[in-house]
């Protein structure tokens, strides 16, 4: 017994000395199963402690000893980090908008409103900054992963020296989770072949329920639990299951399970719904609620004025804030629209508003879940409205299919869109609204998502509550806050330091600044501690410094994505200067009066750009979607499959755009005949399918749900073995022209021939092919069709193949530029996707 007592005394003394030296908190008897300890956090995972028991030859003479369980510091809060998608300053009612957002109201009324919260102007760059505390280029996300290029600031890979907030909290004893949108897994690492280190579960988030990519069909999403694809919507009537509710249900279940299993363990939830990114998919109930309110009947000009007056009345913008004139040369005024245009656009915006209101309602349920487990006071809720300004990627007219925009069709005629009026927002559309509404929803600022030099693209708002700490309820904070400031704020709130080393890798410094100082009423008017911040997105850039904002003049509206890129975006710019201390809404350019300040801030921007991996700066947009990247099929020209397979994402499957290819299927038809899907990629809104329909072989191209071209055999296949072939000859130079600032090689014509047992049965020439992308949230499937089908008139997924598939071969013959082609491209004018010569970078309002 003396040996046992001595062992416990030594262990206790050892732990107590560590505790004193490193401010650790120890509970329970050291070595006992219930003992806990905090860690100093410098090294993650924490080193295993030295065994503190006694080992003799016999167990009865030995003393067991358990390493203490690692826990966060006492009173570390639960953290609910919410970020919505594509929502500008004027969207939520909490900040003067007309769309009801009672959940955001609740957080604001129980805590603080913030009106100077900044994003990066684009989705996954903001999210990379949010979870790492580093600038988006530092974290490898200068653009979205789907546009990644082979440079450190743009490769869409979060390096190992930038551990996420999930990883830091996990190793300090938190339960960590991520719900909704994951736009930080590289598109070339999103398949079941992995690797999974860049998935949420590989970045410190123990539990993930959501989708991978920029957006998702909310009715039939490409949904994962951890790294396993799931289909909870299968078998349910259309319109009865929606991800907005389903992810709230799953988050509530997670919070309750974690608390019920271990009530003392704090919970971290990153909650990132797809709303209000396109497609706008609310339930019919919410569409009716909003439609019945008649919020938008007077049009977008009146809406903008109404939001602006609300903002001044609420005090969320200064009373002397000015509103810039409506951009008539970019967007029509409401009174200039036809009756059909007004009818269509009101439908578009009501569905968007319903989506926003529905999303906020479900967020409110998740917030309530923490109350229901008795954690109201000690839960830090950070609710950020928007990862960038409102999206204008629907173009001036909106669209029933956002995939069309990404293939260059960004102004579909109103009469074409009216065919989708009654199903707008349902599973039959991948819809987006007119940019006129987007401009209004960014009130009091100008411009949109993508525009990193304009406050309409980067100035968000936020509400934060933490009843145990924040007592200045309902107050406004006007300090400069950037999304990189969230990580250090959470760490300060939890009493956890940023690690020096993670998995043996020295960590890059956190680049954000904690805004926890603003939680105290005494600091309500304290100067901003974050004093300098650069912005850059696709060649548009800005530099903030102590209230000054140096900005590049907008030279491209977001829907103008298919022209030539500015070849020198650092210098080939008109620079504007604003004093945000007196000009809240960035309306008065004072560059001419302050030339020295302009030069000083430009030098500062260049220094920041060098420091944070912004160079080489690239102003291209659509061209980067089709640029080569480490797709696991890269370098391969032949693909062979011998058994069914589903769920391979677009970023990891053979690319059949802008190239010649041959698909050959060796099948065996049973005595009773056969039907079903042989091969498909994409879905209802863009893609292709090779299938048997009532026994007849069919190859079909779905051209963004506007046109379907079908090759079909003349008769059903007889029982026995058959060889089916689809051969496509592409008449174009291919994606290689993009490297020369020319889109002349993509989307060109081509001729396809369907063959049965070596005999050509039909040849059709396509005047235009898809230049950029298929429906990205659908997959490459063999033997059946997951999610939506490429032609609803022919079949309903999963449409399994009832013939035996012996072998499927895809051979790709990509165009190669000849020396003569290169010489012509180097000397030619830049060209658009349709081959139209373009001699200048298009400019926006001057």
Q: How far is CA 203 from CA 148, 162, 166, 182, in A?
A: 20, 10, 7, 12
pLDDT tens-digit readout, 593-622:
999 999 999 999 999 999 999 999 999 998
Q: Give Dmax (Cα) for the chain.
A: 94
CA distance 459 to 776: 28
Which CA distances in Å does 548 have to 226, 480, 570, 596, 608? Answer: 44, 12, 19, 13, 15
Measured between alpha carbons, how far is 295 from 801 in angstroms, rounded to an integer?
49
pLDDT higher than 60, residue 174: yes
Q: Could you tell me how far CA 23 lies from the centroid of its own chain?
A: 39
Secondary structure of 643-678 as H, E, C letters: CCEEEEEHHHCCCCCCCEEEEEEEEEECCCCCCEEE
The reported pLDDT for the residue numbered 634 is 83
Tens-digit pLDDT profile for residues 271-329:
999 999 999 999 999 999 999 999 999 999 999 999 999 999 999 999 999 999 999 99
Q: What element of type H or E holds 772? A: none
Tens digit of pLDDT for each residue in 340-380? 999 999 999 999 999 999 999 999 999 999 999 999 999 99
- What is the pLDDT of the chain when averaged over all its residues? 94
Task: Read off the DSSP letter of residue 312.
Answer: H
Residues 6+ apart with CB under 8 A from 795: 675, 677, 691, 693, 785, 789
Return the H-helix or E-strand segment holding 68.
none
Strand 481-482 vs strand 112-118: parallel, antiparallel, or unpaired? parallel
Average pLDDT over residues 570-586: 98
Left, alpha or beta for 506 (phi > 0: left; psi -120 to 50: alpha)?
beta
Bridge partners of 702, per DSSP, are 687, 708
Q: Considering only CA atoms, give the Rg of the chain.
A: 28
H/E stretch holding 112 reads: strand 112-118
Position 22 confidence tier, pLDDT thresholds 50, 70, 90: very low
Residues 243, 230: Cα–Cα separation, whole Å:
12
CA distance 82 to 94: 15
Residues in the chain: 846
pTM of the model: 0.94
Alpha helix locations (H) across 55-115?
A: 102-110
Q: What angle do CA 137, 139, 143 make, to 5 degrees?
A: 50
As a whole number of Å, the end-to-end CA separation of the chain is 87
Q: Is the pLDDT of residue 136 over 80?
A: yes
Strand order in the sheet with 540-545: 532-537, 540-545, 548-552, 575-579
Task: Give the model's confidence band at 3: pLDDT under 50 very low, under 70 low, under 90 confident, else very high.
Answer: very low
Contacts of 175 (CB under 8 A, 6+ apart): 206, 258, 262, 265, 266, 267, 268
pLDDT tens across 194-245, in order? 999 999 999 999 999 999 999 999 999 999 999 999 999 999 999 999 999 9
The predicted pLDDT at position 651 comes to: 84
Angle between helices 339-372 and 243-261 (to 10 degrees): 10
Distance of CA 728 to the CA centre of its chain: 34
Per cent of the chain over pLDDT 90 is: 90
pLDDT band at 556 (very low <50, low <70, confident <90, very high): very high
The residues near 640 (Cβ < 8 Å, ≥ 6 apart) are: 807, 808, 809
Residue 250, judged by CB atoms within 10 A of its CB (0-12, 13-18, 19+), counts as buried
What average pLDDT does this structure show over 571-579?
A: 98
- Tell me the average pLDDT across 432-444: 98
Among the listed ranges 360-369, 400-409, 628-637, 783-792, which one has the minimum average pLDDT value? 628-637
SS3 for 357-412 is: HHHHHHHHHHHHHHHHCCCCCCEEEEEEECCCCCCCCCCCCCECEHHHHCCCCCCC
Tens of pLDDT, residue by residue over 731-785, are 999 999 988 888 899 999 999 999 999 999 999 999 999 999 999 999 999 999 9
What percent of the chain clears pLDDT 70, i.e. is strictly above it? 95
| Per-residue pLDDT, 84 | 98
Q: What is the mean pLDDT of residues 639-661?
A: 94
192 has pLDDT over 70: yes
Q: Can you state the percent helix, strand and coil of the chain, rounding each to 5?
A: 25, 25, 50
Would you tell me how many other CB atoms lie within 10 Å of the CB of residue 715? Answer: 11
- CA 164 – CA 206 distance, rounded (Å): 12
Q: Count other Cβ atoms within 10 Å, centred on residue 298.
A: 13
Is 70 exceeded by the pLDDT of residue 833? no
Q: Provide the pLDDT for residue 829.
A: 55
């Amino acid at each position: 017994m003396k040996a046992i007592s001595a062992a416990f005394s030594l262990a206790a003394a050892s732990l107590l000395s560590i505790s004193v030296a490193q401010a650790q908190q120890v509970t329970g008897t050291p070595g006992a199963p219930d003992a806990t300890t905090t860690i100093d956090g410098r090294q993650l995972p924490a080193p295993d402690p030295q065994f503190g028991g006694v080992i003799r030859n016999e167990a009865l003479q030995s003393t067991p000893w358990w390493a203490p369980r690692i826990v966060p510091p006492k009173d570390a809060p639960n953290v609910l980090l919410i970020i919505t998608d594509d929502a500008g300053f004027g969207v939520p009612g909490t900040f003067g908008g007309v769309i009801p957002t009672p959940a955001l109201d609740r957080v604001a009324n129980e805590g603080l409103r913030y009106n100077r919260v900044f994003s990066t102007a684009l989705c996954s760059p903001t999210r990379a900054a949010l979870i790492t505390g580093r600038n988006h280029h530092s974290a490898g996300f200068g653009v979205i992963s789907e546009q990644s290029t082979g440079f450190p600031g743009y490769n869409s890979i979060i390096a190992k020296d930038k551990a996420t907030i999930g990883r830091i909290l996990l190793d300090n004893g938190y339960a960590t989770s991520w719900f909704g949108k994951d736009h930080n897994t590289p598109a070339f690492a999103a398949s079941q072949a992995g690797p999974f280190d860049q998935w949420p579960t590989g970045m410190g988030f123990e539990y993930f329920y959501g989708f991978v990519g920029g957006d998702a069909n909310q009715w039939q999403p490409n949904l994962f639990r951890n790294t396993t694809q799931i289909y909870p919507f299968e078998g349910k009537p259309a319109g009865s299951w929606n991800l907005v509710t389903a992810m709230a249900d799953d988050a509530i279940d997670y919070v309750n399970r974690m608390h019920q299993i271990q009530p003392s363990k704090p919970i971290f939830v990153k909650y990132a719904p797809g709303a209000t990114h396109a497609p706008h998919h609310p339930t019919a109930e919410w569409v009716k609620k909003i439609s019945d309110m008649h919020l938008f009947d007077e049009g977008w000009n009146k809406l903008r004025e109404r939001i602006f007056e609300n903002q001044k009345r609420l005090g969320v913008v200064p009373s002397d804030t000015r509103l810039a004139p409506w951009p008539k040369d970019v967007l029509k005024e409401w009174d200039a629209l036809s009756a059909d245009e007004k009818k269509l656009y009101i439908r578009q915006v009501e569905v968007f508003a319903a989506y926003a209101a529905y999303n906020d309602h479900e967020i409110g349920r998740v917030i309530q879940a923490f109350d229901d487990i008795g954690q109201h006071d000690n839960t830090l809720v950070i609710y950020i409205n928007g990862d960038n300004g409102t999206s204008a990627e629907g173009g001036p007219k909106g669209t029933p299919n956002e995939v069309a925009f990404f293939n260059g069709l960004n102004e579909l005629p109103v009469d074409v869109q009216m065919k989708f009026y009654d199903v707008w927002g349902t599973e039959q559309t991948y819809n987006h609204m007119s940019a006129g509404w987007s401009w209004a929803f960014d009130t009091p600022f100008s411009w949109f998502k993508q525009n990193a030099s304009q406050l309409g693209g980067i100035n968000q708002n936020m509400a934060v509550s933490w009843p145990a700490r924040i007592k200045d309820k309902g107050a406004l904070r006007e300090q400069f806050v950037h999304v990189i400031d969230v990580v250090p704020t959470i760490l300060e709130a939890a009493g956890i330091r940023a690690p020096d080393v993670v998995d043996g890798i020295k960590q890059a410094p956190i680049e954000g600044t904690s805004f926890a100082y603003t939680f105290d009423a005494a600091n309500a008017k304290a100067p901003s501690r974050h004093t300098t911040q650069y912005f850059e997105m696709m060649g548009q850039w800005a530099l903030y410094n102590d209230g000054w904002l140096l900005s590049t003049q907008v030279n491209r509206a977001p829907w103008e994505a298919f022209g030539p890129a500015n070849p020198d975006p650092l210098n080939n710019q008109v620079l504007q200067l604003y004093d945000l201390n007196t000009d809240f809404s960035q309306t008065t350019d004072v560059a001419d009066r302050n030339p020295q300040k302009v030069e000083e801030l430009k030098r500062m921007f260049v220094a920041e750009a060098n420091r944070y991996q912004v160079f080489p700066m690239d102003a291209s947009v659509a061209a980067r979607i089709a640029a080569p990247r480490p797709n696991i099929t890269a370098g391969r020209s032949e693909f062979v499959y011998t058994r069914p397979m589903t769920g391979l994402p677009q970023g990891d499957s053979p690319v059949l755009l802008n190239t010649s290819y041959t698909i050959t299927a060796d099948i065996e038809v049973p005595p009773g005949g056969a039907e079903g899907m042989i091969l498909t990629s994409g879905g209802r809104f863009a893609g292709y399918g090779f299938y048997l329909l009532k026994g007849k072989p069919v190859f079909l191209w779905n051209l963004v749900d506007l046109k379907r071209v079908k090759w079909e055999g003349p008769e059903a296949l007889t029982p026995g073995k058959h060889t089916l072939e689809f051969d496509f000859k592409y008449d174009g130079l291919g994606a290689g022209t993009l490297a020369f600032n020319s889109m002349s090689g993509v989307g060109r014509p081509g001729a396809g021939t369907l063959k049965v047992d070596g005999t050509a049965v039909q040849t059709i020439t396509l005047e235009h092919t898809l230049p950029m992308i298929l429906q990205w949230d659908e997959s490459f499937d063999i033997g059946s069709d997951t999610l939506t089908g490429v032609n609803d008139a022919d079949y309903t997924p999963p449409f399994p193949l009832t013939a035996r598939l012996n072998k499927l071969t895809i051979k790709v013959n990509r165009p190669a530029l000849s020396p003569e082609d290169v010489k012509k491209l180097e000397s030619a004018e830049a060209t658009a996707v349709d081959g139209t010569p373009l001699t200048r970078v298009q400019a926006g309002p001057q």
